[in-house]
Structure 1
């Protein structure tokens, strides 16, 4: 523990001396053409109260770099050109939210207007820090908030702000590409399809002297938004003013830290979970989630009869009948959960917890999803992230299946993928693919300082954690 306190002291000193980020320029990038109005589905509307999806990729500058100025200007120009072409495929991201209201009867509809918009914001910034400065601390340093646009805005706020903002931050030895995307427009699957397509177009243009031509893309987004039976858009909400469902609150004091689990460690967890449950169907992520559920609960030390809940945000594309394609652009998420008392969770093994999570996921089918959506249409509501969190619950979001490290932008494989400060609450856990691939997984865990300290001393949890490869930066 003394070692950790020493690290905390170093991090505090680092925060006090952290250089300020400097914005050099900003502009707006528009698609070649766009004249659409997009209606929001129940899944989209429910996200109006949450924050943007904010992820960034950290790249090393080329080792053989000779002309720093030429590299920077060339990179920025290619990013803008390829972004414009990418937005032609993902045109809702170039629009703005628009609301139509009536008072008698009360009606409140929100849609995406791609006609009257400046497009996506593109920001160029610099920071006098190295990749090691940013990635070395145990906890995610506060400077990460500066790598994204819209620091505290909610999705509903962006009637006048861009639905997509890209910030390119130049470090001493690297480049950070941060992407902020309105969560009422798209989910994580759509987010990474966009980024991978942008990278694909960037790479193709880099191999051609003509930067204006259209590049064939491998995964064309599908914009025909899915609505439940008998639901005719636009969907009317029972409000007169946004103040009826939007509340501002201060973010809680949290520690957020990344933990790495090698492919070997994940394989051992999965084998143990399946062996203890006498089955072969429990997945790697379910096994890891069971470890996290048990470890966080133990770190919180609730009473033995206290009910604990572990929730998983699941992609519903393959659960709808007929299924939606993975390229479906929009939100398509449902939160499923498993419950157990502290005593049940900790007295039984990891296999017991993993089986409960497996059942929760496999029980999430077309009928469950449709019943939820029909209930939502009868009584529409806007998701407040806090309703998924109590002192004894956790939520797993994102996915190690997302192709985060397939986005290269001419600088090779990213050194790391990280998130911004959006939607951070006590008990939120985000899963990422490990950089080395092969089934490795990274977790971003957000907890109160006291609970995080206890987790870092949890033997079962830390025995499964693998150290990050410091040689990468």
Structure 2
């Protein structure tokens, strides 16, 4: 995408890991958790930070620290500097790092309004998109990660990170960001690459993911037959939406008092022992109900797909800092006419509760083989209106402090392509939930009105 006049690219290069790590070739196999996402669009996240200082301070002091700490963080996350390859002799793709590889880093300057883009008002989706970098991908190889640092003179800067979904889930990508921020904030005390706390050091042990049924090869064969036979192209799906008019990005918040009110409403109408009434379930039930009403969904049924971290669900559990994907899919289904009715919130909550119950009761790997075929089936049918979730308040994205304080705003930019609902902890630290949507202007206005009215009634 061409950058407008308000955006000037100042640098475009690569940052490599330092020292001996940069001279060591390494490879990492992809598990079925990874291969599932082979051609899905990358995940794009954006962090805004206030920096009310002249550009000279940014370029002479802060930017060098950001680059140096990035290099040091790649010492710990070496595969991120490499590429995904799918050689002709290999049954499935893998990650390979060779000396000379590095992460693409763009440094830009923008004269856009920092406080408008990082605030809570609606903004055009394309304005935000300019702040995240493209991910270099070809038929033969795909980068794992690219970064963009954009300065808004005298007000702030943003850090945009684009991650290949077959490389990392949300927990891994935010672990990398936390590690980078930690190293940057501690450079004044020590520039040692061994200074990461143990809980921030990624685990690359692939043996902890058991795959006796060969699900990774099943998924790989699926991709080989897409545009195949034997299609080893690493090009990603383009899910850019072209039929919705101008897209608007909005961020909304559920305060702790709102969440408690939703829970009490649910408890008064449901058997508390039978249904899963949690912050997650009531949040998404309410958002889904408002969305279906705002767009007046015409499909017969609504399907809500969401992910669950499997690190603690596997037997035995695997390390919390495991590097890669380790998320399972859950699906909730409801009749659209019931969601549009007076008890739409309860209908959505019942469906989500049932999905969570199945996730807890089933051996997660027993249904893994169906994940990719389910996504293909539901994506092709006209029966379902699909909704999905991205992010989690458990990632604590607002704790990413590069030594300048908490981010002013965190966005998942890629929801403008996927249509997902983004989720995070509230940026103001009040214990609430923050979620983001990208919709056309008419539906966004309708959603906002329905959302606020429901909370006040």
> TM-score scaled to structure 2, two decimals?
0.84
Q: Structure 1 residues 246 and 143, CA, compared in 2 at 3 Å: closer, same or farther?
A: closer
Q: Any residues of structure 2 matched to 1:394-433 within 5 Å, and which? A: 394-421=387-414, 424-426=417-419, 428-433=420-425
Whether contact under 8 Å (2:75, 2:193) holds in the other structure is no
Contact 1:395 1:429 in 2 (8 A): yes
Query: Deviation digits for residues 53-84 of structure 1, max 9, x if unmatched?
Result: 1111111115xx4x641343221111111112
Match for 1:372 among 363, 367, 389? Answer: 367
Separation of aligned partners in 1, 2:257 and 2:343? 24
State the 1:235 CA deviation.
Answer: 4.0
Corresponding position of 2:98: 115
Q: Which runs of 5+ in 1 are unaligned?
A: 1-17, 467-473
Q: Which runs of 5+ in 2 are unaligned?
A: 225-229
Name the CA shift for 1:388/1:343 in 2 (closer, same or farther; >3 Å). same
Equivalent position SS for 2:69: helix
In structure 2, what is the Cα distance between the partners aligned to 1:284 and 1:247? 33
Query: Aligned pair 1:282/2:274, yes or no?
Result: no
Counterpart for residue 332 of structure 1: 326
User: Structure 2 residue aligned with 1:188, among 163, 170, 173?
Assistant: 170
Match of 2:44 among 46, 50, 54: 54
Shift of 1:243: 5.8
**Structure 1 position 143 matched with structure 2 position 127:** yes
TM-superposition CA deviations, 1:265-317 (whole Å, max 9, x none): 222222222332242751112101111121122223246x9222222222222
Residue 26 of structure 2 corresponds to residue 26 of structure 1: no
CA distance in 2, matches of 1:381, 1:157: 25
- Distance of 1:323 and 1:290 partners within structure 2: 29
Deviation at 1:216, TM superposition (A): 3.1
Q: 1:215 aligns with which of 195, 198, 203?
A: 195
Offset, 1:124: 1.2
Q: CA deviation at 1:26?
A: 2.4
CA contact (8 A) 1:309 1:339 kept: yes
**Cα distance in 2 between the residues matched to 1:275 and 1:93:** 49
Contact 1:29 1:83 in 2 (8 A): yes
State the distance in 1 between where 2:305 and 2:381 align.
Answer: 9
2:292 and 2:320 map into 1 onto residues whose CA distance is 34
- Report whether the alignment pairs 1:452 with 2:452: no
Aligned residues between the structures: 431
Q: Which moved more, 1:161-170 or 1:75-84?
A: 161-170
**Corresponding position: 1:126 with 2:109:** yes
1:140 CA displacement: 4.1
Counterpart mapping for 1:252-263 below 5 A = 252=242, 253=244, 254-263=247-256
CA distance in 1, matches of 2:234, 2:141: 20
Give yes or no for contact 1:30–1:119 (8 Å, CA) kept in 2. yes
SS at match of 2:332: strand
Aligned counterparts of 1:35 and 1:382: Cα–Cα separation in 2:
37
Q: Does 1:40 align with 2:34?
A: no
Q: CA RMSD in A?
A: 3.1
